Structures are given as structure tokens and as C-alpha cells.
């Protein structure tokens, strides 16, 4: 550990310990004991944000970006320390990515029609106070993306974060409010409660002042917001397959797949969760994965021990294993792996639980198929109708097109690692809220606005 790393660790431990000792987080901006008080503060902040110009919103956003860059290491350490998931190096990159590539007010645009009968505009206006539920897997990253996009859209936001990530979330929300105050904006542009629970979440979902709910998490929470009777954006679970056909650049495919799969120990919902490989190239692909990319080929016995460890007898995920490294997972089943091991790989049937379940850990099963068409059917089955993410390595445009149409997902990465879809080594903007279930796709400021038509009859057309 370098001197800098030790310093960050010491700061993280102090921040976390301080939160533990007091049992509450007094002195933090935007943090309340009671959800109703948090919402009341958000309503007050919303009245001020509503009067702000786009330029003023953008000023706050630029201070948020600066603070995220400056605190990336601290936030990454806090997330890993608190949740026990992911790895610090990749989380640092994720924070810089959110600061750089989450769209701000430039994402808000106006549609206009002008002609003989006047001028009509469609403008993107705020919903007001938004209720957001965030996951343990990307806790601060999701809060940062949501805050930038929601504020750019003119909203304030109430968070009910995952209880296992509450300290990291509270720290992030405090930082967001400090940014607002520094830029001359109001306090409480983002708020939360000290102890987020299902009850506080229910209060938030039912509150009459909240007109839009945004849930980022597994199937349970998305179903909960969609059953609320309110407008809801659901960014739900995935199980992204990556299909490799006989035309792919296999050496590059192996590298991209392992890079994507192991990023932050496989926590991102878009990350490669299983390979579907055409028989004629499957062995060569596996060779590159093992020989050049830190793949550990697990035998049947190790795979059985892993299945018994990472899944409970009921078939649900053992949370202790989610987001852990391949080395840690192997150690849990008595295998000592070298530092170069990045991913556990094996070949199996699509029904194997380590292949069909969304594991969120670097265990990558490969399903062998006789040809591309069987590959599409297999990938479709493995994606479980989430319509979330799927990836492909192929040089055949017809294959790519057929796969994209069949899988019908919010994200489809071709010939690259999955994280290219988040703008990391790929074009486009970043978000950690991918609205797969409700169809908005990669959310941004405009997703958090409502369309308002403003018509001037018979005037203001100056053509
Ligand atoms: P999780 O579903 O356990 O929790 C997510 C959030 O929902 C937490 O804040 C939790 O407290 C809350 N929650 C859960 N059930 C609820 C209910 N019935 N009512 C109200 N709130 C409820 O998920 P997690 O382990 O934190 O995150 C991993 C899951 O989230 C994976 O399935 C992953 O694919 C998904 N995810 C999706 C996206 C996306 O953008 N689509 C992003 C990140 C994570």
C-alpha cells in the first residue's frame, strides 16, 4: 500500500467510524431522521430551484463534477468498505466517468413549430420533487448520476438508498448539497434519511408531493414503484449474455469479455454474465481467455463447491459473495489462486444455476451452441426477458442485426467490452440508471422532465 493509499484508507475509516459512533449523522446536509421531514425540505428546495436559470443549475452541476473528481478515491473506498463489494480501482474510474460524462442542462432541449398560425414550443419542464431508490452495487455512482440529471431537469430529489450503503450515500448527498451552497444554490437539493427502510420507502412512494419515482435495483423494487399508482421509471435487473460467432476476432473478444466481466468485480448490471459461443470457435475463445486474460478454468468439483457457496439452498444469491474478486471466491472454496487470476470460467448447460442466475461476481460460464441461430435462441433464453443488455462479437452485419432485433435490449455492445455502453471507451454519455423495464433506456436529464406545450396563436412567427 502506498503512502497515498494509506492516507485515503485512514480518512475513510475516520469518516465511517464517526458515523458509527454518533449513531446518527448530524451536521450532514440533506440528512433527516424522518422521511416526511426530508420530503418537506425537498419541497422547500424545489421552490428555489424552480426559480433558477439554466445557467445557475449548470453552475451547481459543475461544482458537483469538481467535487466528484476530487473525492473519487474516497467515495470508491467508502463504497467498497461499507458494502464489501467491488474493487477500489474500478470504482475510482466509475466516479470520474460520472463526473465527466453525465449530461447536464445541455440535455434539455426545445422542439418548435412556427408558421402562419403562430409559434408552438414543446419544452422540458421539471416534475418537481422526485423519489429515487438506489442500489448497493453502485451506491454513490447512482446518486451522482441521478442528482446531476434531475437537477439539470429542474428537480430536487429524495433518496431512499439501500440500507447496506447508507453511509456512502449520506456522504455523497452531503457533498452534493455542499456543491449547491458553494455555487450559490439552496441546501437540500438532494435529501435522505439516516435509516432508510422499506417503511421510509413506502412513505416516499405514497407522498402526494412526489409525482415521479425512479427505482434502480432488482425486480422487487421495480415492481414496487410500478405498483405505486404514480409515474415510475424502472431500472431493473439484467443477465447480459455475450454471443461470439465464427466471424469474431477471438483474441480481442476474449480480452473485451474478461475486461467487461471483471470491471468492478462484475457489479454493473450491464456486465457480461455468461458467454454463448459457437462450437467451431468455442475452444479457441476459451484458450485466449485462459492463456492471455487471467481466466481460471474451474473443474466440475470446484464449480459444484462454488454453486453451493454463492447460492443459498433456496437458489437465491449469497450476498457475501456478490461483487467479490475471483481470487476471494476461489479462496472461499479452498482454492488458492495466483494474483493473475481475474475470472472463473467453465463450460456448462444454459440451465446451470451459475449461468442462468444474475450472479454479479466474476464467474463466467460458457454455453456451447452448434451455430449462430441456436446462439440467438440461447442468449434470448438467458436474458430472461429483462430486455436490459446483451453483447455480441461478430464481423457479420446480418448476424449482429438479427441478434439485436431478437434480444431487443436497452443496451447492445458490438465488438467491445460492456462498459463501452456507459461511455467508458465508447461514444455516448454515462448513467448508472438504465431504465430497462420501462423503456427509457439510459436515463439523462431529459428523462426526468415532462413535456409541456406552449402555443402562441397567430403571432411570433417572423419568417
Ligand atoms: P436490490 O433490489 O436488493 O435493492 C435495490 C434498492 O431497492 C435498495 O435501495 C433496496 O433497499 C430497495 N428495495 C428492494 N426491494 C424493495 C421493495 N419491495 N420496496 C422498496 N424498496 C425496495 O438490488 P441491489 O442488490 O442493491 O442491486 C443489484 C440489482 O440491481 C441487480 O439486479 C442489478 O441488475 C440491478 N441494477 C440495475 C441497474 C439498472 O440501471 N438497470 C443498475 C444497478 C443495479
In angstroms, the CA 418 to CA 274 distance is: 12
378 touches ligand 1 (CB under 6 Å): no
Band of pLDDT at residue 20, cut at 50, 70 and 90: low
In angstroms, the CA 32 to CA 255 distance is: 46
Average the pLDDT over 394-408 and give the result. Answer: 98
293 touches ligand 1 (CB under 6 Å): no
Task: Determine the atom of ligand 1 nearest the C-alpha atom of 435.
Answer: 41
DSSP bridge pairs for 335: none
Cα-to-chain-centroid distance, residue 121 = 33
pLDDT, one tens digit per residue, over 147-170 is 999 999 999 999 999 999 999 999
Query: What is the pairing mode between strands 295-297 and 343-347?
Result: parallel
Average the pLDDT over 242-251 and give the result. Answer: 98
Query: What is the pairing mode between strands 129-134 and 434-435?
Result: unpaired
Closest CA to 240 of 277, 220, 269: 269
Spatial contact of 95 and 64, defined as CB atoms under 8 Å apart: no
Mutation test residue for ligand 1: of 203, 206, 221, the one with most atoms within 8 Å of CB: 221
344 touches ligand 1 (CB under 6 Å): no
Nearest CA to ligand 1 atom 11: 162
pLDDT of residue 18: 65
105 touches ligand 1 (CB under 6 Å): no
323 touches ligand 1 (CB under 6 Å): no
pLDDT, one tens digit per residue, over 82-114 is 999 999 999 999 999 999 999 999 999 999 999
Backbone φ, ψ for residue 391 (5° rounding): -135, 160
Residue 3, pLDDT > 80, answer: no
Query: What is the pairing mode between strands 129-134 and 31-32?
Result: unpaired
217 touches ligand 1 (CB under 6 Å): yes
Spatial contact of 134 and 98, defined as CB atoms under 8 Å apart: no
Residue 100 DSSP symbol? H
pLDDT, one tens digit per residue, over 416-459 is 999 999 999 999 999 999 999 999 999 999 999 999 999 999 99
In angstroms, the CA 235 to CA 401 distance is: 25
154 touches ligand 1 (CB under 6 Å): no
Residues 6+ apart with CB under 8 A from 70: none
198 touches ligand 1 (CB under 6 Å): yes
Task: Determine the atom of ligand 1 nearest the C-alpha atom of 162.
Answer: 9
Spatial contact of 412 and 376, defined as CB atoms under 8 Å apart: no
Closest CA to 248 of 222, 280, 270: 280
Task: Determine the atom of ligand 1 nearest the C-alpha atom of 136.
Answer: 26
Spatial contact of 235 and 443, defined as CB atoms under 8 Å apart: yes
pLDDT of residue 50: 96
Backbone φ, ψ for residue 114 (5° rounding): -130, 145
Coil, strand or helix at 391: strand
Helices assigned H by DSSP within 23-87: 35-50, 54-83
Task: Determine the atom of ligand 1 nearest the C-alpha atom of 388.
Answer: 41
Mutation test residue for ligand 1: of 217, 317, 390, the one with most atoms within 8 Å of CB: 217
- From the number of C-beta atoms within 10 Å of its C-beta (0-12, 13-18, 19+), residue 195 rates as middle
Residue 15, pLDDT > 90, answer: no
Q: Residue 236 C-alpha to ligand 1 middle, in angstroms?
A: 7
Residue 298 DSSP symbol? -
Name the grid cell of 212.
Answer: 415521479
pLDDT, one tens digit per residue, over 253-312 is 999 999 999 999 999 999 999 999 999 999 999 999 999 999 999 999 999 999 999 999
Name the grid cell of 303.
Answer: 464449480
Band of pLDDT at residue 21, cut at 50, 70 and 90: very low
266 touches ligand 1 (CB under 6 Å): no
pLDDT of residue 23: 47
439 touches ligand 1 (CB under 6 Å): no
Q: Residue 221 C-alpha to ligand 1 middle, in angstroms?
A: 6
Spatial contact of 225 and 88, defined as CB atoms under 8 Å apart: no
pLDDT of residue 339: 85
Spatial contact of 422 and 264, defined as CB atoms under 8 Å apart: no
Amino acid at each position: 500500500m502506498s503512502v497515498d493509499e494509506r492516507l485515503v484508507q485512514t480518512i475513510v475509516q475516520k469518516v465511517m467510524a464517526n458515523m458509527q459512533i454518533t449513531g446518527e449523522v448530524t451536521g450532514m446536509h440533506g440528512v433527516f431522521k424522518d422521511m416526511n421531514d426530508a420530503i418537506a425540505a425537498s419541497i422547500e428546495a424545489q421552490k428555489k430551484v424552480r426559480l433558477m436559470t439554466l445557467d445557475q443549475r449548470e453552475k451547481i452541476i459543475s461544482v458537483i463534477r469538481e467535487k466528484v473528481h476530487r473525492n473519487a478515491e474516497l467515495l470508491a473506498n467508502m463504497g467498497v468498505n461499507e458494502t464489501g463489494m467491488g474493487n477500489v480501482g474500478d470504482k475510482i474510474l466509475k466516479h470520474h466517468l460520472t463526473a465527466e460524462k453525465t449530461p447536464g442542462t445541455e440535455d434539455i432541449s426545445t422542439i418548435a413549430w412556427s408558421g402562419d398560425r403562430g409559434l408552438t414550443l414543446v419544452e422540458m419542464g421539471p416534475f418537481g420533487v422526485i423519489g429515487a431508490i438506489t442500489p448497493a452495487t453502485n451506491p454513490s455512482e447512482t446518486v451522482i448520476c441521478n442528482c446531476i440529471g434531475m437537477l439539470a431537469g429542474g428537480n430536487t430529489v429524495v433518496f431512499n438508498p439501500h440500507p447496506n450503503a447508507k453511509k456512502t450515500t449520506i456522504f455523497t448527498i452531503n457533498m452534493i448539497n455542499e456543491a449547491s451552497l458553494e455555487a450559490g444554490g439552496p441546501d437540500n437539493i438532494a435529501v435522505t434519511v439516516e435509516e432508510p427502510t422499506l417503511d421510509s420507502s413506502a412513505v416516499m412512494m405514497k407522498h402526494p408531493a412526489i409525482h415521479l419515482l425512479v427505482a434502480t435495483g432488482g425486480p422487487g423494487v421495480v415492481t414496487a414503484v410500478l405498483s405505486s399508482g404514480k409515474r415510475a421509471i424502472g431500472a431493473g435487473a439484467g443477465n447480459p449474455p455475450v454471443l461470439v460467432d465464427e466471424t469474431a476476432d477471438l483474441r480481442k473478444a476474449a480480452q473485451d469479455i474478461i475486461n467487461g466481466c471483471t470491471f468492478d468485480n462484475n457489479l454493473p448490471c450491464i456486465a457480461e454474465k455468461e458467454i454463448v459461443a459457437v462450437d467451431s470457435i468455442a475452444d479457441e475463445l476459451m484458450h485466449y481467455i485462459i492463456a492471455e486474460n487471467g481466466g481460471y478454468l474451474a473443474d466440475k468439483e470446484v464449480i459444484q463447491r462454488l454453486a453451493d457457496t454463492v447460492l443459498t439452498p433456496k437458489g437465491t444469491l449469497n450476498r457475501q459473495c456478490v461483487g467479490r474478486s475471483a481470487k476471494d471466491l476461489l479462496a472461499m472454496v479452498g482454492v488458492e489462486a495466483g494474483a493473475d487470476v481475474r475470472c472463473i470460467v467453465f463450460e456448462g448447460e444454459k440451465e446451470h444455476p451459475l449461468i442462468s442466475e444474475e450472479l454479479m461476481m466474476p464467474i463466467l460460464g460458457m454455453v456451447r451452441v452448434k451455430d449462430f441461430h441456436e446462439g440467438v435462441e440461447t442468449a434470448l433464453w438467458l436474458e430472461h426477458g429483462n430486455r436490459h443488455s446483451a453483447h455480441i462479437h461478430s464481423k457479420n452485419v446480418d448476424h449482429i442485426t438479427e441478434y439485436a432485433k431478437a434480444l431487443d435490449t436497452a443496451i447492445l455492445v458490438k465488438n467491445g467490452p460492456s462498459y463501452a455502453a456507459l461511455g467508458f471507451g465508447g461514444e455516448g454519455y454515462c448513467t448508472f440508471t438504465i431504465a430497462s423495464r420501462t423503456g427509457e433506456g439510459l436515463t439523462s436529464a431529459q428523462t426526468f422532465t415532462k413535456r409541456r406545450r406552449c402555443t402562441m396563436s397567430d403571432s411570433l412567427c417572423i419568417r
